[in-house]
Amino acid sequence: MIIPKQSLSTHDVTKRFKKVSADIFYYVQLGLIKPFDVVLYVKYLELFNEGYGYAFPTIYQLEDYLNCSRQSIVSANKRLVAAGLLIIKKHKNNNIYFPLQPHPNENLAKQVPHLLIELEKRQEKIYSVADKDKFRLENLFENQSH
């Protein structure tokens, strides 16, 4: 087991941290990308070379860095491109990657109203179950106190 550090993740943040817009999580919530895709996106940000203006890891490096299969990377790249979060260009023997800023939640929602409807239905279902669980738990304690 790893011994946890005793400082919060936001304490004394200086090196080896990449800022990522929290708006990217709305892409996950809407089903445009998967949680793993966020990890890959952050890796592209980490590997981004300011001098060149892009990231250029090999597929082998990504497999190594993320402990995943080539197919996982290929699939995640396709979703990131389709979601407008990544541009991939062929360059010599390697791809080059241009990670793009996510849209603010309101702008993204306007572009995918059908996904917003699906999200609202899913949320209704989730919170309906949560309410039932809460009611069942409250009744359990009431019955025990009598």
User: Is position 77 within any domain?
Assistant: yes
pLDDT bin (cut points 50, 70, 90) of residue 86 is very high
Q: DSSP letters along 67-105, please? A: T--HHHHHHHHHHHHHTTSEEEEEETTEEEEEE-PPPPH
Predicted confidence band of residue 2 (pLDDT cuts 50, 70, 90): confident
36 and 68 Cβ atoms separated by less than 8 Å: yes
Residue 13: inside a domain: no
* Residues 30 and 95 both lie in one domain: yes
Q: Is the pLDDT at 145 greater than 90, yes or no?
A: no
The string of DSSP letters for 102-139 reads: PPPHHHHHHH-HHHHHHHHHHHHHHHHHHHHHHHHHHH
State the residue for tokens 């699939």: 75
Q: Which of 14, 16, 24, 15 is nearest to 99 (CA)?
A: 24
* Banded model confidence at residue 6, pLDDT cuts 50, 70, 90: confident
pLDDT beyond 90 at 89:
yes
In a domain, 4, yes or no: no
Give the C-alpha separation, 30 to 141, whole Å: 36
- Checking if the pLDDT of 108 tops 70, the result is yes
- pLDDT given for residue 36 in this prediction: 98
Q: pLDDT tens digits for 41-62?
A: 999 999 999 999 999 999 999 9
Higher pLDDT, 137 or 80: 80
Q: What's the sign of the alpha-carbon dihedral 47, 59, 63, 87?
A: positive
On average, the pLDDT of the chain sits at 90
Model pTM above 0.75: yes
Together in a domain, 98 and 28: yes
| 18 belongs to a structural domain | no
Residue 70 sits in which domain range? 24-102
State how many domains the chain has.
2
Domain presence at residue 32: yes
Tokens 């603010």 sit at which residue? 104
Is the residue at 126 inside a domain?
yes
Same domain, 121 and 91: no
Rounded to the nearest 10 degrees, how much is the dihedral formed by the CA atoms of 113, 116, 118, 122?
Answer: -170
Tell me which of 141 and 77 has the higher pLDDT.
Answer: 77
Residue 79 falls within a domain, yes or no? yes
Residues 75 and 16: their CA atoms lie apart, in Å, by 27
* For residues 54-71, average pLDDT: 97
* Secondary structure class of 1 (helix, strand, coil): coil
pLDDT value, residue 3: 79
